[in-house]
Amino acid sequence: MEFIKSEKGKDKLIYKGYMYTFEKFGTEEKSIWKCDQYKKMKCKGRIHSLNNEILKEIQHNHVQDCGNIEAAKAVNLIKNMATQNVDLSTRAVISSASTSVS
């Protein structure tokens, strides 16, 4: 279970090669996450979690998209490096991030 930030700064959950966006809080403060492909693929995949522990997993109707997840992680890394190292040039940030991702 891993978290990254979306383009809008919200949490996204990565688990078993799938990416999820926060949907709502359920009973007893558990978090319900829906598959990132719920609109595009009409996927009903969901994760129910509580305190970073998976309680329930609802299956997907598509294969994992590891390439998309790796790209999202790389973009997050670049954004984090750019905000933490404001004195670095764009080229230096991207170069440093690309060596970290490879």
Q: Which strands sit side by side in the sheet containing 53-58, from one edge to the other? A: 2-5, 11-15, 18-25, 31-35, 46-50, 53-58
Structure token digits, residue 28? 């007893």
Domain residue limits, the chain: 1-62, 65-102
CB 69 within 8 A of CB 19: yes
Report pLDDT digits (tens) over 18-74. Answer: 999 999 999 889 999 999 999 999 999 999 999 989 999 999 999 998 888 888 888
User: Domain 1-62 maps to which CATH number in 3.30.70.360, 2.20.25.240, 3.30.70.270, 3.30.565.10?
Assistant: 2.20.25.240
Q: pTM, whole model, 2 decimals?
A: 0.77
